[in-house]
Structure 1
Amino acid sequence: MKKFILLLTILATLSACGRFSNQDEKEANSERIVCLAKQYNEIIFALNAQQNLVAVDLSSTYPPAIKELPTVGYHRALSTEGILSMKPTIIIHDNNVGPEQVMQQMEKLEIPMKVFEAPGNDIPTTKALITEMGQYFDRAEEAVSLNAKIDREMAQAMESLKNYPTRPKVAIIHYGRASNIYLTMTSGSNAGKLIEWAGGEMAIDGERGMMQLSAEVIAQSNPDIILLTDFGYDRLNGMQEVKNLPGVSTTKAAQNNRIFRVEEHDMVYFGPRTGEIVMNLQELIHKNEGLQ
């Protein structure tokens, strides 16, 4: 009898070991993706390929479901500890990451990294990026559908542009203000292309995508419209406080109540929603036209 009980105990132990070994093997074989690029992350969700995404960078805020994932810090101010705490099996980024020593540490630890080849800085290369990512995540059909959506909505946007003959001058302030210095998007930014497609003209020229500008420069540019991104807008207590900002208060935009809140993630990269965003901007910047 004792031998029989001992045999059952041994068999139960072996069975348990086997079960836990299988679980360990399953966990070891599960891909854990940390993606540090907001453009990539939106496309991953649009492709319905987010199942193995375990963490993102702080600037990745679309779609809303992405906010349920842990963040590992701002993409240009990452920490080794934050990334490693997510136990990544691969890190996906767009080369706009840092600091350099953190990425070097990831390389020394031999954590695989992936950068997609298509730059995604205009409509053709954004579609190429979606195709490339669709192939990588085994979502080729979904990529075809997303690219068709971009073509369809951009065509609609260009057709609707015919309804807006004027070209209002638009200033886009990114992060609000610090000591009356404004981080402002320029005509050389992706936002500049969006405003052009929407039938507007950027108030600030420049080859660099963003520039820190004084209140005096904002006042001199005298935009018809000011778009304030969500981070800066939400820090202020309502429209009246926005209108009273130094350099803003004297502009046509403030005088005619043509200051609007926009989502930062809509303005800084191209993706599956770009045509939709352009059409929304068309309605926004041409609202109440004719005011002086």
Structure 2
Amino acid sequence: MRKITYFLAVSFLFAACSQFGDKHNDKQGLRIVSVSKQLTEIIFAVGGDTALVGRDISSTWPPEAKKVTAVGYHRALAPEGIISLNPTAVWNDGNWGPQPTIDQLKKVGIPLRQFDGGNSIDSTKRLIRLVAAEFRNEKAGDSLCDRLDRDMARADSLRKTYAGQSPIRVMVIHFGQAANQYFVLNHRGTQQQMLDWAGAINVADTAQKWKNLSAEVIAQEQPDVILATDYGFDLQGSLEKFKQLPGVSLSPAAKNNRIYRIEEHDLVYLGPRTGENVYNLIRLIHGQR
């Protein structure tokens, strides 16, 4: 009887050590290069960042992501930088390249893992849970999704307090001034959904996602609020300098000091912080009424 009891105890201990040891080794054995800013943020959020050895330069959230080796811009990648990191997989959302780089990575045998990007709250929650499961941290995935639902509900409640008031006309300018041209976000894509959730009107009616508009068009549209993404705003160096840009200077946004710096990544993809980002966007756009 003692021998049987001892054998069962040892077997249980071995099984337990094997289970947790495998989990640890699997996580540490992964060497992921993420070429999607959406995936990079989620990897950090579910605690998988110890497996992240490379990221594209647009993956800048959370701030700790900037400490991870950059391999280039996700649509203009060279294979050498990725191969040098000896990754076990390259995670992507399908929006990366160029094709010769993809072909070279396949040729040397690096697995390419594509995740369908979340472009709605429901699909984003599915993506969060999928990535969490990759690191055997389903609990973190569930917690993030619950928080996302709560944050979206809080944002919606705040937006409703401004219902019935005159609409706010908003323009999103990405790169600031470039040869008297401005990159402006149009009515399609995640940024439009963010403005809809915030209860704002996008005055940039363009066919392309990013569109060069002249200073004259900027002045003509007369936006009440300008959201200047981080790169373009920082390029000018200050609010006062941004206000002096041709076209911008003639807008109500400039005259009323309603030009706000906003991180590009908070507008162009959905993730665990989307509800919080929508809430803050509402406060920016409507807060000074």
2: CA distance between counterparts of 1:89 and 1:152? 36
In structure 1, what is the equivalent of residue 253 of structure 2? 253
SS at match of 1:201: strand
**Pairing 1:177-192 to 2, within 5 Å after superposition:** 177-192=177-192
Structure 2 residue 96 is the aligned partner of structure 1 residue 97:
yes
**Pairing 1:78-227 to 2, within 5 Å after superposition:** 78-117=77-116, 119-165=117-163, 166=165, 167-206=167-206, 208-227=208-227
In structure 1, what is the equivalent of residue 41 of structure 2? 42
What residue identity is the alignment partner of 1:247? G
1: CA distance between counterparts of 2:209 and 2:150? 27
What residue identity is the alignment partner of 1:273? R
Deviations 1:221-262, CA, capped at 9 Å, x for gaps: 111000101111111132121111111111111111110100
Structure 2 residue 47 is the aligned partner of structure 1 residue 51:
no
- Cα distance, 1:151 vs. partner? 0.7
C-alpha contact (below 8 Å) 1:190/1:209 kept by paired residues:
no
Deviates most, 125-134 or 35-44 = 125-134
Percent of residue pairs identical: 44
In structure 1, what is the equivalent of residue 272 of structure 2? 272
Computing the radius of gyration from Cα coordinates, the structure with the larger value is 1
- Cα distance, 1:206 vs. partner? 4.0
TM-score by length of 2: 0.87
In structure 2, what is the equivalent of residue 19 of structure 1? none
What residue ranges of structure 2 are gaps of 5+ in the alignment?
1-24
What residue ranges of structure 1 are gaps of 5+ in the alignment?
1-25
Deviations 1:4-46, CA, capped at 9 Å, x for gaps: xxxxxxxxxxxxxxxxxxxxxx9xx822110100000000111
In structure 2, what is the equivalent of residue 244 of structure 1? 244
Deviations 1:85-118, CA, capped at 9 Å, x for gaps: 211111111111111111111111111010113x
2: CA distance between counterparts of 1:133 and 1:205? 36
- Cα distance, 1:209 vs. partner? 2.6
Deviates most, 140-149 or 206-215 = 206-215
2: CA distance between counterparts of 1:230 and 1:214? 20
C-alpha contact (below 8 Å) 2:94/2:115 kept by paired residues:
no
SS at match of 1:51: helix
In structure 2, what is the equivalent of residue 30 of structure 1? 29
SS at match of 2:86: coil
1: CA distance between counterparts of 2:32 and 2:172? 33
2: CA distance between counterparts of 1:88 and 1:237? 38
SS at match of 2:171: strand
SS at match of 1:97: coil
C-alpha contact (below 8 Å) 1:243/1:254 kept by paired residues:
yes
C-alpha contact (below 8 Å) 1:188/1:205 kept by paired residues:
no
